[in-house]
Structure 1
Amino acid sequence: MARVIGTMSSIAVLVAVAGCSDDAPLTDPQGQPISTVTTRVAEVNIVNADRDLTRTCLAPTAPDDGVTDVTRIVVTDPALLDAVCALGIGPKVTAVAAAPGSVPEYLGPQLGAVPTIGSTPGADAVAAAKPDVVLATPQTEAAAKAFGDARVATIAPGGWKERFQAVADALGRSSAGTRLLDEFHTETQKTGRRMDAQHSQVSLVRFTGDSEMIAGTGTFAGQILSEIGVQRPEPQRSLRSFTVTDENFTDADGDLIYVSFQDERGLEHGKEVLLSDRWLDMGAPTWKRVLSVDDQIWYGTSGLAAAWLVLNDLKGSLDGNS
């Protein structure tokens, strides 16, 4: 059994099952739709299997006093969309200058419906987008040049909180950005106290097509666990993630294990491991304390909108499983 892992993106395990041969939806005798959302994988429950992505983005925020509000935004790096979503101003985004399919699914239909016009957009796409501000990163500044005289705000590399505040600053919402980060921190502290998080030992394991890795405290999910005050098993208290081997296999154990899968191949490999005797002999699997989470949300991206989703996943699962 191979056991390595690298950085993963998300896997959508929410599978809609076709109804009959004519593709009609499944219904009960009263004609009401029957839910066909997959809620388990390899005998492991999926956290928030029926997540409502229309509720990912937060309430609209107002600009700082005396600041003229932006009206039309183009984003050249999809990683910056999370901050726009958390500021509640997704409807102001007129285009994403990146490849089709690059908008993270967890951001929901509002941002998923924004045109993706490629990193070298044509004249028609530029004219239709007509931004008054372009959000870019150092790696995507070249794409911003296509938008002529529009103001370009380049967001420097940094941690997810720093990136969120930088986007808020660039969009004239410095006060709102600070307030929203403070609200999130306050909620993590309340959650930690309510759940007695310091007495939980939570393990984080991720699967690729042929490997598995224990996620370090420096990963996005690891940072949120730390902010809440959740403890990690002693072998997992390094910032860096590390590969699972024959020698350290049981380092994956804990009071509770959250597992995730990079893609379909990661899911298939994960199923093999989760159903193996060696895995099932560990403490958490023996006591049915293993849960599956969305890899993209927990690791594949980072931002305040995703942070709230991870926090809510933990609120709904940590209490009854640790």
Structure 2
Amino acid sequence: MLVLSGCGDKENNTDTSAVSADVETVEAEEVEEVREIQHAMGITEVKGTPQRVVILTNEGTEALLALGIKPVGAVRSWTGEPWYDHIKDEMTGVQELGFENEPNFEAILELDPDLIIGNKVRHEEAYEQLSKIAPTVFSEDLSGQWKINFELYADTLNKKAEGELVMKAFDDRVAEAKETLGDKEEIKVSVVRFSAKDVRIYQKDTFSGVLLEQMGVGRPESQDVDNFMETVSEEAMETMDGDILFYWVTEADVYEKANQWLENPVFKSLNVSKTNQVFEVNETIWNTAGGIKAANLLLDDVVERLK
């Protein structure tokens, strides 16, 4: 104001407007809250509502989109070119950063993010390097922990209230589905993955397992375990049995292997085979996407198949 007092009227008016705008900007910056976020690697200070967010997990990408935030950069979907079909329309213009187990650090740096979100399981060794680029927050685990991670992401992004609404809407849908389906505890749902490397039964601490448990759907004894998965040998095919079996195949060239198992006399002797209750499902929705958007699609799929 002292500088302005020596200026002419016209200059005074112009400068006052400019200074007022500058003051408003400074004041806005001054009142922008700095929040301490407790996460898997410690405590990170996050200022205000981040605008340029880099996300390094597939489930995290879905969380951001559900919260109304388009990331400036994201790791590519495990399958898709480069995004899963159910999110690709929302990912136009997002910089692809490689797969989540090998993100492109140079590309991250060039994006000049104001927040990086990753995961301890995937990126623990890179935490210090990423923290030098921007404030960095890591979730603890993956597998079936998407709801826990979603809460952390919403808090980190200063979207806690929005996150609670998103999660309530999902939980309300699950409650409606339970009412529609009725008591399904007696129905034992088996979940199996065929890959070139091995054959797995998926247990409760998985993306599909968490939802099935929330819906009150039963699991075979071999899968009613707080664990991620177990590898199955041909000699132990009986662990795949149940009232209904859902499976997916990870690559096209694995179908021959899957068909050999499904046509094996031991498998043919199982209850699910005798009752013709063996169904192929979409791997993206049942396993790899792992976020809130896929969870809603998985819920639709389970209801459709069990009703």
Do they fold alike, i.e. is TM over 0.5? yes
What residue number does 1:154 align with? 137
What residue number does 1:190 align with? 176
> What is the DSSP-based 3-state SS (H/G/I as helix, E as strand, rest coil) of the residue aligned with 1:176?
helix
May I ask how many residue pairs the two structures share in their alignment? Answer: 246
- CA distance in 1 between counterparts of 2:179 and 2:236 reads 32
For 2:67, give the aligned amino acid.
Answer: L
- CA distance in 2 between counterparts of 1:247 and 1:167 reads 43
Instruction: Compare 217-226 and 156-165 and name the one that shifted more.
Output: 156-165
- The offset of 1:173, in angstroms, is 0.7
1:312 maps onto 2:300 in alignment: yes
What residue number does 1:48 align with? none
Q: How does 1:120-269 map to 2 (within 5 A)?
A: 120-121=105-106, 126-127=109-110, 129-138=111-120, 139=123, 140-142=126-128, 144-145=130-131, 147=133, 150=134, 152-158=135-141, 159-196=145-182, 197-209=184-196, 211-240=198-227, 241-269=229-257
Q: How does 1:51-130 map to 2 (within 5 A)?
A: 69-90=49-70, 93-96=71-74, 105-109=84-88, 110-111=90-91, 114-117=94-97, 119-121=104-106, 126-127=109-110, 129-130=111-112
Contact 1:97–1:143, Cα closer than 8 Å, also in 2: no
Which of 282, 286, 289 is matched with 1:298 structurally?
Answer: 286
- Alpha-carbon distance change, 135 to 246 in structure 1, aligned in 2, over 3 angstroms: closer
Instruction: Compare 277-286 and 160-169 and name the one that shifted more.
Output: 277-286
- CA distance in 1 between counterparts of 2:189 and 2:77 reads 36
- TM-score normalized by structure 1? 0.66
Contact 1:99–1:116, Cα closer than 8 Å, also in 2: no
Deviations 1:74-100 (A, max 9, x none): 22444421211222323xx22237899
Contact 2:78–2:288, Cα closer than 8 Å, also in 1: no
Contact 2:119–2:139, Cα closer than 8 Å, also in 1: yes
- The offset of 1:273, in angstroms, is 1.4
State the identity as a percent. 22
Which of 251, 260, 282 is matched with 2:270 structurally?
Answer: 282
For 2:167, give the aligned amino acid.
Answer: L
> What is the DSSP-based 3-state SS (H/G/I as helix, E as strand, rest coil) of the residue aligned with 2:87?
helix
- The offset of 1:73, in angstroms, is 2.0
- The offset of 1:106, in angstroms, is 4.9
Deviations 1:255-274 (A, max 9, x none): 11101122234333112212
Q: How does 1:18-57 map to 2 (within 5 A)?
A: none
- The offset of 1:162, in angstroms, is 1.4
- The offset of 1:222, in angstroms, is 0.9
- Alpha-carbon distance change, 97 to 248 in structure 1, aligned in 2, over 3 angstroms: closer
> What is the DSSP-based 3-state SS (H/G/I as helix, E as strand, rest coil) of the residue aligned with 2:193?
strand
Unaligned runs of 5+ in 2: 1-31, 34-47, 98-102
Task: Identify the structure with the greater helix proportion.
Answer: 2
The structure with higher relative contact order (CA 8 Å, sep 6+) is 1
Return the index of the structure with the highest Cα Rg.
2
> What is the DSSP-based 3-state SS (H/G/I as helix, E as strand, rest coil) of the residue aligned with 1:257?
strand
- CA distance in 2 between counterparts of 1:272 and 1:178 reads 46
Deviations 1:50-94 (A, max 9, x none): xxxxxxxxxxxxxxxx9865433222444421211222323xx22
Contact 2:130–2:136, Cα closer than 8 Å, also in 1: no
> What is the DSSP-based 3-state SS (H/G/I as helix, E as strand, rest coil) of the residue aligned with 2:306?
coil
> What is the DSSP-based 3-state SS (H/G/I as helix, E as strand, rest coil) of the residue aligned with 2:95?
coil
> What is the DSSP-based 3-state SS (H/G/I as helix, E as strand, rest coil) of the residue aligned with 1:198?
coil
Contact 1:74–1:96, Cα closer than 8 Å, also in 2: yes
Q: CA RMSD in A?
A: 3.0
For 1:203, give the aligned amino acid.
Answer: S
- TM-score normalized by structure 2? 0.69
Instruction: Compare 262-271 and 214-223 and name the one that shifted more.
Output: 262-271
- CA distance in 2 between counterparts of 1:100 and 1:162 reads 22
- The offset of 1:130, in angstroms, is 4.0
- Alpha-carbon distance change, 278 to 97 in structure 1, aligned in 2, over 3 angstroms: closer
- CA distance in 2 between counterparts of 1:277 and 1:113 reads 51
